[in-house]
Amino acid sequence: MENLVYIALFAPFVSSLFALMFVMVPKQTFVGIVASLLLFISFLASATLAYHIAMTNEVIHVTMMDWIVVGDLSIPFGFVADHVSVTMMVVVSLVSTVVHIYSIGYMDHDRSFNRFFSYLSAFVFSMMVLVMSDNFAGLFIGWEGVGVCSWLLIGFWYHKKDVTRDINPSISPSWAANEAFIMNRIADLGMLVGIFIIFWNTGSLQYDEVFPKLAELSPVVLITAAIALFIGAMGKSAQFPLHTWLTDAMEGPTPVSALIHAATMVTAGVFLVIRANPLFGMEEVAGVSYFIASLGTFVAFFAASMALVNRDLKRIIAFSTLSQLGYMFAAAGLGAYWIALFHLAAHAFFKALLFLGAGNVMHAMHDELDIFKMGALRKKMRWTWLYMGLASFALAGIPPLAGFFSKDAIIESAFNEGSLILWAMLVITAGMTAFYSFRQVFLTFHGDARYKEFGIHPHEMYTYVLIGMSPLAILAAIAGFGKDWFEGFITNLLPEYEMSEHTHHLASILGAIVLAFAVGGILLAAFKYIKGLKRSEKTENSFIYRLLSNQYYIPQLYAEMISKPYAELSSIFWKSIDMKIVDATVDAIANVVYKSGDGSRKMQSGNLSNYLAWMVFGAVALLIAALISSAIG
Amino acid sequence: MFEQIAFYFFSVATIVLFLITAFSKNVLYAMSALAAGMVMISGFFFLLDADFLGAVQLVVYVGAVMALYAFGMMFFDATKDVKEKNASTTLVVLLGGSVALLLTLIFIAPILGANIEASYPPLEGATNPQSVGLILFTKYLIPFEVAALMLLVAMIAGIILAGKKMDISLTDIEEDIAISEEEEMILDEKDGEK
Amino acid sequence: MDNILSVLIFFPAIAGLLGFVIDKNSIRAYGISVAAVEFALSLFLWATFDGTSAAMQFVELIPIVPDFGISYYVAVDGISLFLVIMATLMTLIGIISMSVKNEIKNMVITLLFLEMTMVGVFVSLDVIVFYLFWELSLVPMLYIIGAWGGPLRVYAAIKFFLYTFTGSLIMLVGILFLAFTYYDIVGVWSFALTDWYQLKMGVNVQLWLFAAFFIGFAIKVPMFPFHTWLPYAHGQAPTIGSVILAAVLLKMGTYGFVRFSLPLFPDASVIMIVPIAVIAIIMIIYTAMVAYAQEDIKQVIAYSSVSHMGIIMLGAFAMNTQGISGSIFQMLAHGIVSGAMFMLVGMIYDRRHTKLMSEFGGLALVMPRYAMIFGIMLMASVGLPLTIGFVGEFLVLIGFYKVSPILTILAGASIIVGAVYMLSLFKKTFFGEVTNEENKKLLDIDARETFSLVPLVLIVVWLGVYPTPILKPIDVSVSSMLELMEAKAVKPKTKELIASMRSEDKEEN
Amino acid sequence: MIGLNHYLIISGLLFAIGLMGVVRRKNLLMLFFSTEIMLNAANIALAAAGHFYNDLSGQMFAFFVIAIAASEVAVGLGLLILIYKKNGTLDLDDLATMKG
Amino acid sequence: MLGQISITMQELNLPTLIPMLIAVCGGLLILIIDLIKNDLHKSFYVMMMILILFVDFGSVLSLVVNDRGFFDLILVDGIAIVTQLLILVTSMLFIPLALTSKRFHEFSYPEFFALFLFMIAGFQFMVTSDNLILIFVGLETASLSLYTLIAMHNRSNSYEAAVKYFTMGAVAAGFFAMGSALIYATTGSIELYAIKDVIGDRLNEPGLSAVIIAGGVLLLISFAFKISLFPFHTWVPDVYEGAPAPLAGYMSIVPKIATFVVALRIFGTYIDLGIEPIRVIILVLAVLTMTLANIMALVQEDVKRMLAYSSIAHAGFVMSALALGTTKGDVSIFVYYTLFMFTNLGAFTMLWISRHKKRRYSLRFDHPYEKFAGLIKVIPMGAVVMALFMLSLAGVPPFSVFWGKLYIMSAAVDKGYIWLAVIMGLNSAIAAYYYLKLIVYMFLKEPNKDMNTVYYNISKPLMVIIGIAVIVTVTSVFFFQQLLSYITYMIDYSVL
């Protein structure tokens, strides 16, 4: 079984290295195939492990070697396959495999095809490290690793030049990549601090050593640790106010968006909270957890609101991802860790599917992303329409698709915790989710074929790609039925979450309310858009619309309030302080010395008479000194 | 009483004469005043029972030194006033005056020690030149010889510096005039290197 | 080979002397051979080094001026060993990658002499001998910057020399005072560091001495606000000069702190933790911002050096094994990474004779291999886990967290601001379209350049993944140094503090 | 009664006059005169002190000072002549090619 | 009436006089040889001189430490021996510099060599006595010879130099005489050991401390002139510029060290007696000297002038050691000068080698910095050697001057004068700039291609001298111990 752990972990790594060997040569399709195969192997290993664990409840723990050993600090490369990590492993490896296969088709014409697979597999490896590590430092390795891969992949088309925000809200892939990396780094600092707190208070970073000791620690320590770790989670999972990078990350190739910015990496924050549930679940940190839930709810709503008016196919999905992450955090914050994890998995499937579908559309539309320029694609791209429709239904929470079960559970638990405001917001958000999902579907696939104006001839994706996507579709459709089994499986490790009697009674009513909102949203969308696009100047110029379509002006705010002042301050530091004060002081000292040399050489007039006068002057001075000193003492 | 009168006379005389030396525009006046001042100083020496020293002062200064100066003066036109852009009088008076003041202030102190035994008192009953002679050729024999050496140095210096050979400077003349064998060799070597 | 250290020190010097007779066309091969032998010798040193012992090893002690306590006293321990190896390695790589064409003979000979001084600094245990090599190292560097540098080279070279020279003269006064203090107490003159370690001094004396040593070391490091010579030196120096300067010479300063300031003046060091940390944080954040504002690639890296040196300083004053070991490891990491970075900048400069970012853009398209290696080094520079840059930074921060969480959080901003300037540099240089016609024809790195860079890449990854071989000896030596500090501290508070800097776990035991 | 102090003071005054001359004079020859005054001033002090201590050392010193003064004159005049031959003037203002 | 005076040779202790006698007789010998045969080449005289000095050296070595002779007028203590040895070695090393490939006026005179020997004798007298008269006479003998030697270079600059030096020297002599008179008037003695006792007794008499200090100050002025302390240093740059390089180099060592010995004897007494004002005055002068000389050296355009200022600064350095009044301080004076001598010898010899008859690079200067531009490309060895000397002067280890500097700073620190050591350090840093300036010119600038080689005046003897200077400068670390222990031993056996 230990070998399986290593296989699951290192197959993507091997894949990455393999692809790396061909990075300098033109496209080699077999690179993609080999990579996909290796990923599939990883999936098989993960699945076998999952099966094994499900069967035996045995946690597999391996320690490869020591990494950093200094003083009392000992960090090994240790990996653990337990219920939580194996769930993640399966999800990650599965989605990755699909995305790899998909990419063979999607990146078909890209000259950096091989490089893409190298990066993509490297990402999977990092993600595996992240989820499998048995300690916080190892988690951080993966954490940073996925960050870098995300940077590489967002900036994959680095050759695109910067444009203004009006033309492309993300400016350029390389800009978006840097933004993502730097924003993540801000959060990573929090994560690091969390690690430090844990180390200095428990003397270890191993999960199995840290968690038992938590009970001994003071509330202050626990709260700061929880806050610090959550800050880390906020960055990776793009929670407000560190959310802007996620939509900009859509500059990356669509498979990347599917894998990294929907299914896996962005859920790392949620994973962290789930992983550290012994900490977040403590009485002492209840406040933090409630804050997490509240923030999650807020982000769910906040992101959904921006998705309502967006015209960019991928950005809409990105906002929806953001929104769904909010749901997950809400669940995790409320203590419903397993529900959060369940939603995480379900979301991974349908959101990846949605993105891949969007990728198909892009591929068909020659990288056009404006849904206002699409329409009626259903006729050209039936399978894609089906997939995206399915995924959207799942997203909207329509039974019996996966999203229904998971989201409903979250909303239910919000009600269960008595947080009616959260509950209400989540319900409203569910409605909004349904609306924007179907707004997108209708505008893309129904109505009039607006793309014709632009001379685009859309075509369906390669068949093998469509087949490759099918596992996701299937899972998006049926995963919800595994909920009870999953609960049984996962609560071996995670705390159970029992709905109160009261909630249990109201469960069906609550579900109905949510469903009503969802269906309402779909109907509204259908009403407005199924016939075709009817643009209204008035609406589009309204304050709310502009506010939403400009993402509440937050990117601009960041640019104006942070980026620009930072650049200006840097410039001031350099030109005014470093050069004009610090360095100038040094030079001034040197100059004063030098100038005083110029000044004092005047006494060296060359005229003997002056020299003699100096001599006599010296004599006078010395005699005076002699007199004074003798007078003094 | 005589001593006092003599002291003050010599004092005033030397001060006046030396002031003339220091401030006169005419070389002749200055030198004459200097010579006269030297004579007056020998007066101090006689007053101080240093007969030998007084005599030496007269012989050396008024005789030798002044002769030398006069000799030197023959090079220059002594009849005309010397044109000097003298240093500003303020500076001169300030510096000189402060030295005078400071030294006077210092010299007011009771310098003469009461319990100091003379290391080399004059011999009982001997004249001053006798005592001086005795000590000069015993204790101060070495300085005396060194002084002789110094005078030799001065003589050589005078001869060389004033000599004709200094008129043409070998330092300034480029080579090629007279090259010794060794020098030639070195030059050849250098050429070889090129 | 008991006298391997002497061989290590003087082999390059003798080779340098012999180099005068070697033909100009063969001198490069000669330089590489000598540096390779030297590097092999240093590896041999490592191989025969007992990593489990904290004692000074390969000790050689020959009195030179017994009346004045000066002796030729060299030895290595875990703290210095790897700095020696890094010095020899970077010299080797530097010579291999060197692109200087004119007066190459002088350059190689100068480098060999420089290598002598670098090795000498790290292995000397006699303070005067240390000072000797310390000062002597300025001379070859002066020549390298001044003779092969950019337009302002003379200014930069002189600034570099005078600034560091001034600092070290103040330090010399401190050295002499410390020697006198030793003499006063013990009655014998000695400049042997191991003798000085035994000396207990009053807190005030310690503070003054600390200040004197501080000036010497701080200018070399260089610490804010003494850092302004560095951008000039780097900006003007030829690639090889920058590589050696950044990789090795700067480390002399931080090495000095660890080797001298900490164990000699434990109380003063403890008192100075906060001031030093504040300066270190200023270095980290302020210089990172200044780096962000730069227009010249090399200047960015130069300022980034200052920023990274801030991390090293912070670690050195963490007063626990994690921090100090991390600090030493970070010295190595920064040496490798910044050396590589400067080499990379040099390569592009060789091609385009400009280092302005505005001249570039889209280089990743024309020079993919170059971009890849640059990217790896960049990631190491910003402290990506599994690269060499992370281990040190992580240890430093975790170590210093024990001292002050708030300051650590501020210092931790380095991972943010570092990413900001590095990524912006990378974006401006490598991303985007190739706008400049001249860049379109640029050749990717050639075999020689690859050969000099790949070892560094391998080291970056190797030590990032498996730092234990190096961390272990460092850890052993640092622990024993901390014990020494605790033992000789005169203030009970200091003892307490040093003791408390160990993790809770150990205290319970 | 005339004491040692009187002599010393007169010696000091003469010394100061010598210094004034030294500072004031631009003509080299005249400047040499002033240096002679300084030496002579010292001689008075030496002779006087010797007298009051009844000690011959002072006189001896003065004797040697006279010898020194004489030698200086010889060398000084030699230099003077050289300068005059070269420059045709003895003014110090014209003797300032080296400066700075 | 006068009685018979009988003095035995035993009492006279003739051997104490022999070293000086050798020098004097050597000078006379040269004069006589010149009389007999007057067309002998300068190399003959140079070698004669070296031989004479060698014999002199041997006779000094055979002196018994702490011996007196000639009515206690001659004092052979440790410093006297050390200093004489130093003077002789320096002379032996400097005199071969006459053997240049080009002809210079002074070496055409056999009298040059005679005067040189007389000068050495003068200095020897000066350092081997504690009698103010002999000191004065010796000093003047040496000085008068030196003035002449400078003037004999025979060009207008050297006359100017000689006149400046001479005139100021004459004034300084006046100060010496006056100071001695004051001391004599206070103590009734002109022998330093007696003076010490009397001053010690009379120190507390009312009103007298001013006189005692003033006497010291007046003497200090004349020494300050000789040692070149601010503000009595003004002659130095001009004289060095006007004098030929060998003499300039010589002047920066021998007259100074001789004067230091006398100053040490006199002010050592003052400081021993606890007369703090003198110490403070010396310290202030020393600090001003090194600082001002250093900053003035910064702006020089001529290397020789720069070296002149540098030697002033070095003198200031050493003077501050004198003010410490500790054995270590005294030792450091001699250690410093010994080590400084070799480096300075090398530096001035390099200048001498590059001396042209006509100024080629500048209207005014013989050795402007431009002359050395790009020397590394023209004459690599020459540049390296010169750089070595510059680094040594700047106090870069392990070259010779560093050890001297180290020891002086250590002496200051030991005495508790940390601030002094710091000032010394800062001054060294300032000084480094102008030494570096030459290195910068030699190594970092492009050569003047159209100009002739700067190796104009080279000859084998000069190369030998350079070689010696280089070897000693570089290997000083190996004999520092011997030097230190020897000088310490000698100082311990000194009457101070």
Res C466 pLDDT > 60:
yes
Query: b or e along E156-175 (b: 16 or more beta carbons within 10 Å of the residue's beta carbon)?
Result: bbbbbbbbbbbbbbbbbbbb
Residues of A with CB below 8 A from B95's CB? 613, 616-617, 620
Contact A288, A311 (CB under 8 A): no
Which domains are seen in chain B, by residue range? 1-83 (1.20.120.1200)
Side-chain half-sphere exposure of E208, counting CA atoms within 13 A:
18
| pLDDT tens readout for residues E236-247 | 999 999 999 999
Q: Give contacts of A 574-633 with C, CB under 8 A.
A: 574-575, 577-578, 582-583, 585-586, 590
Q: Is E355 exposed, middle or buried (0-12, 13-18, 19+ CB in 10 A)?
A: buried
How far does D85 lie from chain A, in Å, by closest CA?
Answer: 19
In this structure, the number of other CB atoms found within 10 A of the CB of residue B141 comes to 16
d(CA E346, CA E463): 10
pLDDT at res. D89:
82
Token reading at A401: 């698709």
Contact E26, E57 (CB under 8 A): no
pLDDT at res. C508:
40
Res B161 pLDDT > 70:
yes
Residue with tokens 């570089």: E474
Cα–Cα distance list, A589 to A592, B21, E300, E382, E438 (Å): 5, 49, 19, 34, 21
Best of E34, E133, E183 to mutate (most B CBs within 10 Å, chain B): E133
Taking CB atoms and an 8 Å limit, are E485 and C67 in contact across chains?
yes
For residue E106, being part of any structural domain is answered with yes
Is the pTM higher than 0.90? The answer reads: yes
The mean pLDDT value for A135-142 works out to 91
Res A498 pLDDT > 90:
no
| Angle between helices E418-439 and C153-186 in degrees, nearest 10 | 150
Q: Which residue of E has its CA nearest to C131?
A: E397
For residue E3, being part of any structural domain is answered with no
Best of B104, B156, B188 to mutate (most E CBs within 10 Å, chain E): B156
Top pLDDT among B72 and A401 is at A401
Taking CB atoms and an 8 Å limit, are E178 and D50 in contact across chains?
no
Residue-range definition of the domain harbouring residue E391: 11-492
Res C503 pLDDT > 60:
no
Contact E250, E90 (CB under 8 A): yes
Phi–psi pair at E131, nearest 5 degrees: -100, 125
Element spanning A592, H or E: helix A584-600
Res C481 pLDDT > 50:
yes
Residue B96 contacts A where some CB pair is shorter than 8 Å: yes
For residue C109, being part of any structural domain is answered with no
Task: Give chain E's domain count.
Answer: 1
* CA dihedral over C163, D100, E221, E173, signed as positive or negative: positive
For residue E1, being part of any structural domain is answered with no
Q: Is E446 exposed, middle or buried (0-12, 13-18, 19+ CB in 10 A)?
A: exposed
SS3 (DSSP) at C60? strand
D88's torsion region: left (phi>0), alpha (psi -120 to 50) or beta?
Answer: left
The mean pLDDT value for A544-550 works out to 85
pLDDT in tens, chain E (496 residues): 456 777 777 778 888 889 999 999 999 999 999 999 888 888 899 999 999 999 999 999 998 888 888 888 898 989 999 999 999 999 999 999 988 888 888 888 889 999 999 999 999 999 999 899 999 999 999 999 999 999 998 888 898 999 999 999 999 999 999 999 999 998 888 988 888 888 888 888 877 888 889 999 999 999 999 999 988 999 999 999 999 999 999 999 999 999 999 999 999 889 988 888 899 999 999 999 999 999 999 999 899 999 999 999 999 999 999 999 899 999 999 999 999 999 999 999 999 988 887 777 788 888 888 888 888 888 888 889 999 999 999 999 889 999 999 999 999 999 999 999 999 999 999 999 999 999 999 888 888 765 556 677 888 899 999 999 999 999 998 999 999 999 999 988 886 6
pLDDT at res. C505:
44
Strand partners, A78: A63
Q: Give contacts of D 2-61 with B, CB under 8 A.
A: 2-21, 23-27, 29-30, 32-34, 36-37, 40, 43-44, 47-48, 50-57, 59-60
The mean pLDDT value for D29-47 works out to 91
Q: What angle do CA A314, A319, A321 make, to 5 degrees?
A: 95
In this structure, the number of other CB atoms found within 10 A of the CB of residue C187 comes to 7
| CA torsion angle D62 D68 D69 D72 (round to 10) | -170
Q: Average per-residue pLDDT in chain B?
A: 81
Cα A196 versus chain centre, distance:
22
The mean pLDDT value for C113-122 works out to 94
Q: What is the CATH number of domain D4-88?
A: 1.10.287.3510
> Sorting pLDDT into bands at 50, 70 and 90, what band is C285?
very high
pLDDT at res. A110:
84
Which of C259, C69, C125, C209 is closest to E421 using CA atoms? C209
| pLDDT tens readout for residues A227-247 | 999 999 998 888 888 888 888
pLDDT at res. C128:
93
For chain D, which residues make up each domain, given as ranges?
4-88
Res B177 pLDDT > 50:
no
Residue-range definition of the domain harbouring residue C360: 272-465
Contact E396, C133 (CB under 8 A): no
Contact E161, E179 (CB under 8 A): no
Task: Give chain C's domain count.
Answer: 1
For residue C357, being part of any structural domain is answered with yes
Best of E295, E301, E365 to mutate (most A CBs within 10 Å, chain A): E295
Q: What is the ipTM of this complex?
A: 0.91
In sequence order, what E strands does D56-98 have?
none
Q: For chains B and C, tell me whether 3 or more CB atom pairs sit within 8 A of each other.
A: no
Most confidently predicted of A80-84, D87-91, E310-314 = E310-314
Contact A42, A86 (CB under 8 A): no
SS (H, E, C) A196-211: HHHHHHHCCCEHHHHH
- Nearest CB among C65, C103, C173 relative to E413 is that of C173
Residues of D with CB below 8 A from B168's CB? none
Contact A118, A14 (CB under 8 A): no
Res B168 pLDDT > 50:
yes
For residue E378, being part of any structural domain is answered with yes
pLDDT at res. E452:
59
Res C403 pLDDT > 80:
yes
The mean pLDDT value for C384-393 works out to 91
pLDDT at res. E58:
94
> Sorting pLDDT into bands at 50, 70 and 90, what band is A215?
confident
Q: Which of A66-70, B185-189, C160-164 has the lowest mean pLDDT?
A: B185-189
d(CA C314, CA C319): 10
Q: Average per-residue pLDDT in chain C?
A: 90
For residue E197, being part of any structural domain is answered with yes
pLDDT at res. E165:
93
Strand partners, E53: none
Cβ-proximal residues to A470 (8 Å cutoff; 6+ apart), any chain:
none
SS3 (DSSP) at A62? strand
For residue E59, being part of any structural domain is answered with yes
For residue E6, being part of any structural domain is answered with no
> Sorting pLDDT into bands at 50, 70 and 90, what band is D46?
very high
Taking CB atoms and an 8 Å limit, are B27 and D30 in contact across chains?
yes
Taking CB atoms and an 8 Å limit, are A620 and B98 in contact across chains?
yes
How far does A594 lie from chain B, in Å, by closest CA?
Answer: 29
pLDDT at res. C337:
93
